[in-house]
Amino acid sequence: MPETLANARLVLPDGEVHGWLRVHDGRITDLGPGAAPDRGDDLGGALVVPGFVDLHVHGGAGASFQDADAARAVAFHRAHGTTTMLASLVTAAPDDLLRATGALADLAADDLIAGIHLEGPYLAEARCGAHDPALLRAPDPAEFDRLSAAARGALRMITIAPELPGALALIKTAAGAGVLAAVGHTDASGAVCREAFDAGARVATHLFNAMRPLHHREGGPITAALTDPRVTVELINDGVHVAPDVVRLAFDAAGADRVALITDAMGAAGMGDGRYRLGALDVEVRAGRATLAGGTSIAGSTITMADAFRRTVLDVGLPPAQAARAASLTPARALGLAGRIGSLEPAKRADLVVLTDDLAVARVMRNGRWL
């Protein structure tokens, strides 16, 4: 039976409308301003945004996508509004990475994840962050083929440092195979990054973090990504990785059509302070900040996409429509899924999040069903 959501502040691609929305058979069938044409579920004027799309998440609720309890991480992030996600894997030994990729392919087949993101192992040691430097390696086409085969069509993105030997060739191979190539964990110059974008890379992995910093005489990856209209830039807006004014700078430079909010969340998301694992490395979480045990390197985040959205509105000062675009439509477009998800529009999948007045998650609908 059709379900009507009435008396809602609908965040649409071009702004906010007080109105109604109708759902049937897992799809949005109609919406409009003003009073609903039939009696429906009165949302009391609550804000309704499209379901969040996270391109980059490693785990949550104490679980990791690297391990057998990955489905628990999916359930946690769905409950917090992320209706579509890529499961990200950190650098690991070849056999371990192959095993984890095969396991996640099962989750993709069951529609728990939208695909797999390999964040490594082809990263620069100087910018490896929370990746085990002993397990980094040069781009290997044969290994890429094995991982692609294990993913059974679910490999959607791979992060590569473009300065490594063979990196540009692998970027071309990945792009040709329909895998989204991303530039990240890199010490490359701006010129090399532009070569990578010309070779087919279309994403900058967590802009500003784990990459050569911007300098006024050498803009590096940051300037190359922000000034290339083909490139989607990921941002971790958790108040730790990037300061709010720098987040605003990125939005001003690239616009909400090219900024994709991500969580980069690890298993500690939704949990308390303590000790956790990220791949092969130990992580300590204190006051919500995750760092490598005994060090200062940030080891992912502990936020949800709902947190990233709320911070973008309240701390960065963007209107909800722009924040929703960066949290939903822009990452959906990067994945080639904008025709199906990412915005509240007729014929798209009924993925949506109802928010409270303080922008906390009240209810989540995925594929037309309340979670």
106 contact partners, CB below 8 Å, separation of at least 6: none
Residues 310 and 299: their CA atoms lie apart, in Å, by 22
**Is there a contact between 53 and 259 (Cβ–Cβ < 8 Å)?**
no
Q: Count the Cβ atoms, other than its own, within 10 Å of residue 356.
A: 11
Q: In which order are the strands placed within the sheet that holds 352-355?
A: 27-33, 15-24, 3-12, 41-50, 352-355, 361-366, 369-370
Kindly state the greatest CA–CA separation across the chain: 63
Tell me which residue of 318, 231, 310, 282 sits closest to 64, measured CA to CA. 282
Structure token pair of residue 341: 């998800």
Determine whether 54 is an active site residue.
no
Q: How far apart are CA 199 and CA 48, in angstroms?
A: 39
**Closest by Cα among 370, 344, 347 to 16:** 344
Candidates 54, 132, 238, 264; catalytic one: 264
Residues recognised as catalytic: 264
